[in-house]
Amino acid sequence: MPITRRIILPLLALAAGLALPDAARADFRLCNNASGRVSVAIAYTNGKTWVSEGWWNLKANACEVLLRGNLAAQYYYIYAMDERGGEWKGKSYMCTQDREFHIEGRENCLVRGYDRTGFFEIDTGKDAKNWTVQLTDATQQPR
């Protein structure tokens, strides 16, 4: 009887834990609703300097958390490209490179040996704690 109790009680505790709702998560997520795989980079200010990071590779219909925790800024910047050469870009230039990166500063990208890439701006509002960006194929985006 003691052996059975040692096995059943942990299983009941595990089942109870799985039944409880998760605590609210506050993250910056990106979902790829485009028809193919995309590579994504994000840029933001950490309060002291600009930071750009990449790459996340998301297959079609997948989501990924790019930044964990409550949002610390109102504006974030995204650049993405697909396997066919399509891009989601903008006029806010940040530093990037071909392989995985974490780059501080957005000035003098070329002089520092980085690429200079145009990101599009995301305004999350002043009080947002989390945000999700939905990438879609260009033909589905509003004009």
Count helices and strands in the chain by DSSP H and E runs: 1, 10
Fold of 25-140: Immunoglobulin-like (2.60.40)
Q: What is the pLDDT tens value at each position of the chain, 143 positions in all?
A: 444 333 333 333 333 333 333 445 679 999 999 999 999 999 999 889 999 999 999 999 999 999 998 888 899 999 999 988 899 999 999 999 999 999 999 999 999 999 999 999 999 988 888 899 999 986 544 43
| DSSP sequence for 43-86 | EEE-SSSEEEEEEEEE-TTEEEEEEESS---SEEEEEEEETTS-
What is the C-alpha separation between 111 and 114, in angstroms, rounded?
Answer: 7
